[in-house]
């Protein structure tokens, strides 16, 4: 790194530099506190890991072999790192580092982390220490699996927070920028920090994008359409056709109410809604309300079924005059859709012709990283907090999701906004990610307990909704499951287990990337790829399915469209929103989606 030690290159006031040091420590502490205290009223041990930690250490005291093995590996490789560094100092070239960052770890992109001896040593020392912690966690096989997972997750959070990239004196890009800009980046960083604290009402709310650069209905969620029905729970949007003929059966999309629907309609180039309309689909989308008062306190999981999916199906049927329709459920809405199909089956309701599930869990035996937040004590705390307001704050839920990818969704913005003093980039996906929604207390408590904690949905008659015991194995509706290989929210092997519960035709498809990018993957981008199997029979093992699956380039959207065509090939004249029995209430995307918290 080019050095410049002239007095002009540094902030003029040593006193100001001391102030910056003090404030930067407060900034770092605020970032840690904000993402540790996810829930109002948390104790000093908000995730109940103290007892698990003590149990782990007691196990290591009784049998220290796993801990000693991790420490021995660390010490051996630390000595190798000294030798590696000394060799490089003496002019040695072409030698391999002792440890390298993992695939997809973007913290070390600056070339100084590899080319500069000091920063290369700092980087590798940190990576060795991080691996040692990971090895120790892996060796804690005397713990119950849930406790071991929780400890490993929060150990990783601590390790990520301690990364040298997060400190101004050990980040070469921050040091270089500080010298080049004479400390102006740190001044701007302080201003950004104050702004984000004010925006969060005294709690740090790190800006991920310029929220003023977007407006729903103007440059995101712009596909033309009309709101044609609404009740207290949702608005129903019917999109304007772009073809003269459309497939006879309409397509109803049920997005998750944990987020807003326009993840499927960001910009025209990556809008699934627009793409489906252009394929000749009559597309309806549910836009859920954003509850913000006690009137939604008792809204339950079955309310979302009866006043949500059922009400939307009724409206679509009356608007189009069609006896049957195709339906999509995304994430939690897919979980609800499976229960709804069972409920319909028990009542002899056959209006659903095909069902598509986007990254949807039905079997919650292995719920992924979200399970670390869901100990019984933590759920009790959540329920106590929700009892006061009637809902769970969407910001708390968003923080929990961000922790699943803390380096990408927390610390990268901390560095960019506060250490480099930059404004966040203009990015539609991050605008959507920051547009949080609240969750009704009754629904959320039922969902956490009956699905995540007790895994009752996949059990015969394990839960009852709308007066009917739920049996997902009774579902015979042809189903299409799309999951994402790197999904941390709905792990693909768990969604696979859920797909095997159905009795009818099931096509299982595995996409690349994660929970969002794996779904919002338009064919024009030709990214990620996907895997399909030759038949509809799903072997018991997800690994066995993948071993025989065929890999394809590009987007799974085309495969899905072909599958829909096989079940719905007849076409009729295009339908114009608001021209039938249901008059247009307002233009898409409607008023429910515009409400921010």
- Kindly list the catalytic residues: 331
Burial class (CB in 10 A: 0-12, 13-18, 19+), 297: middle
Could you tell me which residues are beta bridge partners of residue 498? none
Angle in degrees, CA 152, 158, 163, rounded to 5: 125
Q: Which two tokens stand for residue 495?
A: 């969604």
Phi, psi of 125 (to 5 degrees): -60, -45
Q: Which two tokens stand for residue 142?
A: 């005397």
Distance CA 221, CA 189 (A): 32
Distance CA 459, CA 363 (A): 9
Angle in degrees, CA 17, 18, 20, rounded to 5: 65
Pairing assessment for the beta strands 325-330 and 251-254 based on DSSP bridges? parallel
Beta-carbon contacts of 17 under 8 Å, excluding residues fewer than 6 positions away, are 10, 11, 183
E strands in 441-491: 464-465, 468-469, 479-484
Pairing assessment for the beta strands 506-511 and 479-484 based on DSSP bridges? parallel
Burial class (CB in 10 A: 0-12, 13-18, 19+), 352: buried
> Mind spelling out the 3-state secondary structure of 382-442?
HHHHHHHHCEECHHHHHHHHHHCCHHHHHHHHHHHHHHCCCCCCCCHHHHHHCCCCCEEHH
């Amino acid at each position: 790194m080019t050095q410049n030690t002239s007095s002009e290159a540094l902030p003029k006031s040593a006193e100001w530099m001391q102030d910056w040091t003090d404030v930067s420590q407060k900034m770092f502490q605020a970032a840690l506190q904000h993402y540790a205290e996810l829930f109002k009223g948390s104790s000093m041990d908000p995730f109940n890991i103290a007892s698990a930690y003590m149990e782990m250490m007691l196990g290591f005291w009784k049998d220290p072999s796993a801990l000693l093995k991790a420490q021995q590996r660390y010490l051996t490789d630390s000595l190798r790192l000294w030798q590696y560094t000394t060799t490089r100092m003496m002019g040695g070239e072409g030698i391999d580092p002792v440890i390298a960052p993992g695939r997809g770890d973007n913290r070390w992109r600056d070339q100084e982390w590899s080319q500069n001896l000091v920063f290369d040593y700092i980087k590798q020392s940190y990576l060795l220490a991080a691996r040692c912690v990971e090895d120790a966690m892996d060796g804690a096989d005397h713990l119950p699996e849930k406790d071991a997972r929780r400890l490993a997750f929060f150990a990783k959070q601590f390790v990520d927070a301690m990364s040298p990239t997060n400190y101004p004196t050990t980040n070469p890009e921050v040091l270089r920028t500080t010298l080049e800009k004479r400390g102006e980046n740190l001044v701007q960083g302080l201003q950004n920090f104050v702004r984000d604290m004010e925006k969060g009402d005294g709690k740090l709310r790190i800006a991920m994008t310029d929220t003023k650069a977007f407006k729903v209905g103007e440059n995101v969620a712009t596909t033309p359409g009309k709101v044609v029905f609404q009740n207290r729970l949702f608005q129903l949007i019917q999109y304007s056709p772009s073809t003269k003929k459309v497939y006879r059966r309409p397509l109803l999309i049920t997005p998750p109410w944990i987020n807003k629907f326009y993840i499927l309609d960001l910009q025209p180039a990556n809008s699934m809604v627009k793409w489906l309309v252009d394929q000749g689909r009559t597309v309806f989308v549910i836009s859920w309300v954003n509850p913000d008062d006690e009137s939604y306190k008792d809204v339950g999981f079955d309310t979302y079924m009866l006043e949500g999916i059922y009400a939307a199906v009724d409206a679509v049927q009356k608007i189009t005059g069609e006896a049957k329709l195709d339906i999509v459920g995304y994430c939690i809405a897919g979980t609800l859709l499976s229960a709804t199909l069972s409920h319909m089956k028990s009542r002899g309701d056959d209006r659903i012709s095909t069902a598509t599930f986007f990254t949807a869990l039905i079997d919650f035996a292995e719920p992924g990283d979200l399970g670390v937040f869901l100990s019984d004590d933590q759920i009790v705390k959540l329920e106590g907090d929700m009892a006061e307001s009637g809902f769970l704050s969407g910001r708390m839920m968003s923080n929990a999701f961000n922790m699943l990818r803390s380096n990408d969704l927390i610390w990268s913005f901390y560095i960019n906004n506060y250490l480099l003093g930059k404004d966040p980039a203009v990015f539609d996906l991050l605008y959507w990610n920051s547009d949080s929604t609240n969750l009704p207390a009754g629904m959320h408590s039922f969902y956490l307990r009956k699905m995540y904690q007790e895994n009752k949905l996949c059990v015969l008659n394990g839960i009852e909704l709308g007066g009917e015991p739920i049996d997902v194995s009774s579902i015979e509706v042809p189903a299409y499951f799309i999951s994402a290989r790197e999904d941390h929210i709905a792990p693909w092997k768990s969604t696979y287990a859920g797909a095997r519960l159905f009795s009818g035709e099931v096509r299982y498809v595995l996409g690349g990337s994660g929970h969002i990018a794996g779904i919002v993957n338009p064919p024009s981008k030709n990214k990620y790829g996907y895997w399909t199997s030759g038949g509809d029979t799903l072997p018991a093992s997800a690994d066995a399915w993948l071993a025989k699956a065929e890999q394809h380039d590009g987007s799974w959207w085309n495969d899905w469209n072909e599958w829909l065509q096989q079940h719905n090939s007849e076409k009729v004249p295009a339908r114009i929103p608001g021209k039938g029995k249901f008059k247009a209430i307002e233009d898409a995307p409607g008023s429910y989606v515009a409400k921010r918290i």
